[in-house]
Chains A and B, each alone.
Chain A
Amino acid sequence: MFLSVKNTYLYLFLLCLFFSCKKNNTPPVNPNPTTTEFKDLSTISYNPIPVELPVISPLPPMDIPSDNPLTEDGIALGRFLFYDPILSGNEKMACADCHLPKGGFTDNLAVSTGVDGITGLRSSMSLINSGYFTKGLFWDGRIQTLEEQALLPVEDVIELHNEWENVEEKLRAHNDYPARFRKAFGINTTEGITKELAVKAIAQFERSLVSANSKYDQVIRGEAFFEDDELTGFELFFDEPNELPDAECGHCHNAPLFTVNQYFNNGIDSVASLEDFKDKGLGAITNNLFDNGKFRAPSLRNIALTAPYMHDGRFETLEEVIDHYNEGAHFADNIDPLIMTKGLGLSAQHKKDLIAFLHTLTDTSFVNNPAYQNPFE
């Protein structure tokens, strides 16, 4: 009796084990038997080589999500996908068409035009150092991670206007991509090629876009010196305590990323009330009236390459941007206190100095880095 009770327990226990094992061992069922057979990839070697991003002073180490560590093959796959028009509905447009290296990973247009020729409302954003931005992506912060972000352009009608299912199918049937997905993520069959893995790869490529070799960086590392005008511009930008006026820029565009990753109304719109912003920015996401007209302060690294400026590309040149801050800021109930509606008091020479400093944020070794260029060329 004693024995048989214990045996019952034992059998129950083994039964549980059996079921839990069985679940894992069941071969994947094809939910839709009419679609193509999945190809076996397990004979292709899977030896992921981890990539440690170098920590280049003055940039801090980047936080990498634990479920998407960088690998050589992951970054390489992401780079192909980023440049490949296969992601778009008519196979004519890639991410890179709106984010070009020579434009500091923007398209140099006021607002971007998608694959069907439809014009959007916002200006393309630079992807430089975007792996560091953890307080929301886009001008309004509506997305938190690069992985989530990369899902969107593919199905956005004013961007790539496609369906992910469609993309997945094309990637599975492709000559080259199945092996690349296997090497990057160790999948066993082409069924493993999913949008989730595609965006992980793209995000890995984006995290590799690190820029820290501008003249500014070299000066901070003691490898170079500012010219006089650049130095004066630096002092204006960071409100150095001297006889120069304070341009207040550093409060919102602080080193080392040249953004504080926060949302402000920097006074570019003249509105009668907070309801009246054409593009409500952060307010459309939070539904807080006081957030209307607030946008993320973008990084100013490589800013000389990313004209035109602001979320709608309203300013053609850096001169116009400085004129705005110096004398053109409009009051609103939520204007930031560091935006001076009464003006900054910068002279014509000060403005030139400030622009000279902004040019020291250009990192040509970044934009020309062979690892970031189109792999199909």
Chain B
Amino acid sequence: MKNIIIFLTFSSLLLAASCGKENTNPIDTAKLNLSFRATYGGEALILEQKNYTYKGNPIRFTRINFYVSDMAAVNNDGETELAEIQFINLTETHKTQVDAEQGTVMTFSKVPVGTYNQLKFGVGVPADLNKTNPSDYSTSHPLGADNSGEYWEAWDSYIFAKIEGQFDTDGNGFDGNDISFAYHAGRDNLYSPIKLDNSINLTAGNTTELVFELDIKTLFSFPQGDLIDLESHNPNGHGAENFLIMDNFKRALQLK
């Protein structure tokens, strides 16, 4: 008899433990993967080793990174926040064809299920966070000291986006006479809000993949299609080209 009691106690404990687990999760959730892939004129972009054509001459890219913030999935019930701030570093993920086709992936493991009709976010750091600086965060935070290369003292601003590379102005191979460009865009008025209408259906226990393509050629073009004149590093982060580049994220970033 004693044995039965012990047994029942154990088994009910086990049962209770397993039941408890499920009860803590009243809302069904799904996993959402967002991947960011850079392209150049529609072709997968490979950094450093591959040249592309810009105004008839060779160009190559060495660094592409940017912040996205206040990311939310929207439907009639309102907004579901996905992330406050994320650093998207395409530099690390676009060194080979295979990696470039994969891109930089952000994973949200517990998004409430349902049908959403819009994704919204901003490219850059929103004004409330842009008042802070790397000293205000733990080292590994996207806005922290490990990423202090993305903060610029002289503007009291994070660098919202960086695009760097070399442009072979005379077409005779890259050398010291060519242009090394570093477009660094920052400051509050360059924050670039984006809304992408798209029906996203998240079902319980499933993973949904969405792919963003960022076309770098489009980033460097005027709305009519002409390409901007590239210049060597211009420290004026809120200059006209940087303003155009940040605004161009609206056109250059597309859901595939």
Contacts and interface: CB of A to CB of B under 8 A. Distances in A.
Interface in B161-197: 164-166, 174-176, 180-182
Contacts, number: 104
B115 to A, nearest CB: 39
Given A337-B181, A338-B182, A59 B4 contact: no
A256 interface: yes
Given A289-B49, A334-B62, A254 B151 contact: yes
A331 B180 CA distance: 10
Given A261-B146, A341-B176, 12 more contacts: A7-B3, A60-B136, A60-B138, A62-B139, A63-B139, A254-B151, A261-B149, A262-B149, A290-B95, A333-B174, A337-B232, A338-B233
Shortest 9 CB-CB contacts between residues of A and residues of B = A260-B149, A337-B180, A331-B176, A337-B182, A290-B48, A341-B176, A254-B148, A58-B135, A238-B153
B144 interface: yes
B135 A3 contact: no
A240 interface: yes
A243 to B, nearest CB: 13
A288 interface: yes
Interface stretch (A88-96, A244-252, A364-372): A244-252
Contact residues on B (Cβ < 8 Å of other chain), bracket: 35 or more
Contacts of B149: 251-252, 254, 260-262
23 contacts: A3-B3, A6-B7, A7-B3, A13-B10, A59-B135, A60-B137, A60-B139, A63-B138, A132-B146, A238-B153, A240-B154, A241-B235, A250-B154, A254-B151, A255-B134, A256-B134, A256-B145, A288-B48, A288-B95, A289-B49, A290-B48, A290-B95, A336-B180
Interface in A40-66: 57-63
Contacts of B7: 6, 9-10
Contact of A6 (B4, B137, B140): B4
A6 B3 contact: yes
B109 to A, nearest CB: 21
Interface string B49-88: 1000000000000100000000000000000000000000
A66 to B, nearest CB: 13
B4 A3 contact: yes
A71 B65 CA distance: 39
A135 interface: yes
A89 B135 CA distance: 42
A239 B182 CA distance: 14
Contact of A241 (B154, B166, B180, B182): B154
Given A134-B139, A256-B134, A331-B175, A337 B166 contact: yes
Given A6-B3, A241-B236, A248-B233, A135 B180 contact: no
A302 to B, nearest CB: 17
Contacts of A355: none
Contact residues on A (Cβ < 8 Å of other chain), bracket: 35 or more
A337 B62 contact: yes
B46 to A, nearest CB: 11
B3 A10 contact: yes
Nearest to B180: A337
B235 A246 contact: yes
A342 interface: yes
B186 to A, nearest CB: 12
B148 A260 contact: yes
Most buried by A among B136, B155, B182, B233: B233
B189 to A, nearest CB: 15
Contacts of A240: 154
B15 interface: no
A361 interface: no
A99 to B, nearest CB: 22
B19 interface: no
B240 interface: no
B16 interface: no
Interface string A250-289: 1110111100111000000000000000000000000011
Contacts of A238: 153-154
A334 B176 contact: no
Nearest to B10: A13
B17 interface: no
Interface in B31-52: 48-49
B182 to A, nearest CB: 4
B174 to A, nearest CB: 6
B95 to A, nearest CB: 6
A338 B49 CA distance: 19
Nearest to B236: A241
B122 to A, nearest CB: 23
A128 interface: no
B135 A135 contact: no
A331 B6 CA distance: 78
B62 A256 contact: no
Contacts of B236: 241
Nearest to B174: A333
B145 A132 contact: yes
A60 B62 contact: no
Contacts of B135: 57-60, 255-256
Contacts of B147: 260
Most buried by B among A6, A134, A337: A337
Given A251-B149, A255-B153, A337 B139 contact: no
B150 to A, nearest CB: 8
A303 interface: no
A358 interface: no
